Amino acid sequence: MARETPAKQKKKTPKKAKSIPKNTKVLVIVESPAKAKTIEKYLGSSYTVKASMGHLIDLPKSRMAIDVDRDFEPEYITVRGRAGLLKELQGDAKKSDLVLLASDNDREGEAIAWHLQNAIAAKVNNVPVQRISFNEITPAAIQDAVAHPGEIDEAKVNAQKARRVLDRLVGYNLSPLLWKKVKNGLSAGRVQSVALRLICEREKEVESFIPEEYWTLDADFKSGKTFFTAQLATWNGEKPDLKTEKDVKAIIDQLAGIACRVADIRETDKTIKPKPPFTTSQLQQAAANRLGFTSKKTMQIAQMLYEGIAMDNSRIGLITYMRTDSVRISQVALDEVRAWIGANYPEDLPEKPAIYAVGKKAQDAHEAIRPTYITYTPDAVRAYLTRDQLRLYTIIWERFTASQMNPAKTKTISIDIQAGKGLFRVSWTKFIEKGFYKVMKVLAGKDEKGGGTYPLLKIGDMVEPVNFFPEQHFTQGPPRYTDASIVKTLEERGIGRPSTYAPIISVLLDRYYVTRSNKQLVPTVLGRLICDILVEYFPLVVNSDFTALMESKLDAVEESQVLWADMIREFYAPFKDRVDEVGKTLESFKRSLDEITDLSCEKCGKPLVKKLGKFGFFLACSGFPECRSTKSIPLGVCPRCGGDIIARKTKGRGKEFYGCANYPECDFITHFKPINQNCPKCGQFMVEKYDKKNGSYKSCINPECDYLHSFDDEESGGPQDDE
């Protein structure tokens, strides 16, 4: 294949072809059946819309298929099981006057279109093949795209090819090394390994953190018939350093019977500006924080909303393309949302539309994520959406609409109460103007909804202390990563792109490198071992700055500023030398995670070994391969029949729960994870529970036993309060 010359480095703008004559028989190929079904309703009878179901041509899974001696040329094949569909599309193309390739307008979509174009050209003569793209699936957007077809963007195809080749070279060199040195079935990836390192390093911080005790002191005050609570803000003019209960009680003793008065009242006005519309990462973060969605679930639901929802006798694409790093909005969308705000909230319509700055690292290929029709309010589409679809659509609609409304204005009243050497402080915040918060229902947090009343006091008024409330606390260590926070970190560091955030997390979970615990990402023993090996022997591969640099180079390929083969060549030679060297010198970790137990095999009586499999630890007979008996690791004793409690998964989504191994004879189940400890009060097993107020704590599984205490409390003298 001929190499590009430097003269071709200038960014190529895809040419626009002539508009399509009437009565032309047109085949439109999209990626998914849902999208095909929606688009078909927007086009006339001369159009046939078919789905490619994603990639039909790709690299083979069984071998590397990259010719490193010929400019890293990839060897593409028809994806297994897709030959029939490809042949069908080629047959449809033969019967058509024109083929329009309408895969997604990103690197992967451009590569799908490029492969289809080549496959059709190889079998069909004299049928023109052109490219169309759109940001939303609405009648106007589809008809405009069809009326103005263009050509495939070769630079975007090269960027996808470079990314695919780069990931294949890394994966197909590192993964066999891990198979040889650790265990079969493992994988290492260019981006996933960096994410794994971030999660493992955070876990080390969590484990090494030593909580420190501290106390706060609140007091109830009375003014006439009004009661309010304030917190000790200063003592002797300095921030109180209350490390023990003794410190707090010493202050309370000094405050006994003391006269208290209002020392100061301050009013502070604040203007809160609305946030820009969602990008992919921001949508995933908001959906995780507000709705409890995983990144994967968010993208699956967003895909449905984008591709089309059945509404009465039509299918409507409710949101624009959901993989984007831009906050840009089209002029048409701005005009529509301003008209809607003017009609419904005229007092909150700014004089000029808000224009948000696009980030330096943004590719800006698509608009921000927004509703396609602002008049389709959440209430208007409620009847057509599932609960989760409605919740996600609601936050997209709210964020976009709010972004073009006036800021909110608040007033905060802070009151200082002088009590001897102490100064107690309390604050209230209320809205002066709600502004964009008028359309916020799901997105607004409790602290953003305002409200609350405050006592009518003036400086010098005397108030009476009614009661003091000392409270013990412990400093909190760094939080584990969640879907939302790892996506935010990856985006901030320039690692990955909008289309890769959700798959990165999914791969780490699927490989059992990471597990979810109370929505937090926790590295497994296997994940830590893999991370340690990669950090020690391949520090460059798991370096976040290096990975971000490679992402920038891929962007440069898309801008025709860098030749993709040159980019790969610069990386590959030193990387391959290092792989070969480590393969010879790295010690084997095979069976290092195996652990002999005191349990015996039910078939042959030999000891059982705790082994690590694809989905976690299990028990296997040490007499393997003569005896192939295996069983799940018992996590507790069933309170009904005395059988083993084991981890199980639901069908479909595969959500983990815990049940009796004697099912179906015994149908005991719990969704709380058992821990290796029995209740000191009733003897049944303990489980891990979690809530936002208390964090993680443990409790007895027995509903008739009130034994409950936090993880940090190792006392076993009796029941504890669920504080």
Q: What is the token pair recorded at 377?
A: 């309010």
Amino acid in the structure at residue 3: R
CA dihedral 26, 31, 36, 37 (to 10 degrees): 170
pLDDT for position 708: 61
Checking if the pLDDT of 364 tops 60, the result is no
Catalytic residue among 321, 481, 501, 658: 321
Catalytic status, residue 321: yes
CB-based contact 290:395 (threshold 8 Å): yes
Beta strands in 224-313 (DSSP E): 226-235, 260-272, 309-311
| Band of residue 700 on the pLDDT scale cut at 50, 70, 90 | confident
pLDDT for position 353: 94
Q: State how far the Cα of 252 lies from the Cα of 250, in Å rounded to an integer.
A: 6
Q: Which residue has the tokens 């992967």?
A: 108
pTM summary value: 0.81
Give Cα separations from 535 to 14, 188, 228, 532 (angstroms). Answer: 42, 12, 55, 5
Checking if the pLDDT of 637 tops 90, the result is no
Checking if the pLDDT of 646 tops 90, the result is no
**Domain 6-152 fold:** Rossmann fold (3.40.50)
- Spans of all domains in the chain: 6-152, 162-209+479-585, 213-273+408-474, 280-402, 594-629
Q: DSSP secondary structure string, 657-711?
A: EEEETTTTT---EESSEEEEEE-TTT-PEEEEEEETTTEEEEEES-TT---EEET
Helices 525-537 and 192-208 cross at an angle (nearest 10°) of: 110
Q: Looking at domain 213-273+408-474, which of 3.40.50.1000, 1.10.10.10, 2.70.150.10, 2.70.20.10 is its CATH number?
A: 2.70.20.10
Q: State how far the Cα of 537 lies from the Cα of 220, in Å rounded to an integer.
A: 60
CB-based contact 552:494 (threshold 8 Å): yes
Checking if the pLDDT of 11 tops 80, the result is no
Q: 374-405 as b/e, with b when 16 or more CB fall inside 10 Å? A: bebbbeebeebbeebbbbbbbbbbbbbbbbbb
Amino acid in the structure at residue 714: E
Nearest to 557 by CA among 546, 547, 548, 568: 568
Checking if the pLDDT of 645 tops 80, the result is yes
Amino acid in the structure at residue 560: S
Q: Which residue has the tokens 């199980």?
A: 648
pLDDT tens for each residue of 54-76: 999 999 998 999 999 999 999 99
- Side by side, the strands of the sheet bearing 708-710 are 673-678, 685-691, 695-700, 708-710
Q: 460-479 as b/e, with b when 16 or more CB fall inside 10 Å? A: ebebebeebebeeeeeeeee
User: Residue 287 carries which DSSP code?
Assistant: I
Q: Which residue has the tokens 């307008």?
A: 105
Q: What is the token pair recorded at 519?
A: 């929505």
Checking if the pLDDT of 241 tops 60, the result is yes
Class of domain 280-402 (CATH, top level): mainly alpha
Class of domain 162-209+479-585 (CATH, top level): mainly alpha
Q: For the chain, what is the largest distance between any 2 Cα atoms, rounded to a whole number of angstroms?
A: 98
Give Cα separations from 180 to 102, 185, 495, 510, 575 (angstroms). Answer: 43, 10, 29, 20, 18
User: Residue 290 carries which DSSP code?
Assistant: I
Mean pLDDT on 208-232: 92
Q: State how far the Cα of 177 lies from the Cα of 179, in Å rounded to an integer.
A: 5
Q: State how far the Cα of 480 lies from the Cα of 517, in Å rounded to an integer.
A: 10
Checking if the pLDDT of 446 tops 70, the result is no
Give Cα separations from 178 to 235, 531, 583, 641 (angstroms). Answer: 59, 11, 9, 43
CA dihedral 339, 340, 346, 350 (to 10 degrees): -60
Higher pLDDT, 364 or 407: 407
Checking if the pLDDT of 4 tops 50, the result is no
| Helices (H) then strands (E): counts for the chain | 17, 30
Nearest to 370 by CA among 337, 340, 338, 409: 337
Q: 179-217 as b/e, with b when 16 or more CB fall inside 10 Å? A: eebbbeebbbbbbbbbbbbbbbebbeeeeeeeeeebbeb
pLDDT tens for each residue of 148-198: 999 999 999 999 999 999 999 999 999 999 999 998 888 898 999 999 999
Checking if the pLDDT of 456 tops 50, the result is yes
User: What is the pLDDT of the chain when averaged over all its residues?
Assistant: 88
CB-based contact 610:594 (threshold 8 Å): yes
| Band of residue 669 on the pLDDT scale cut at 50, 70, 90 | confident
Collapsed DSSP state (helix, strand, coil) of residue 283: helix
Residue 200: which H helix or E strand, with range?
helix 192-208
CB-based contact 305:297 (threshold 8 Å): no
| Band of residue 16 on the pLDDT scale cut at 50, 70, 90 | very low
pLDDT for position 415: 96
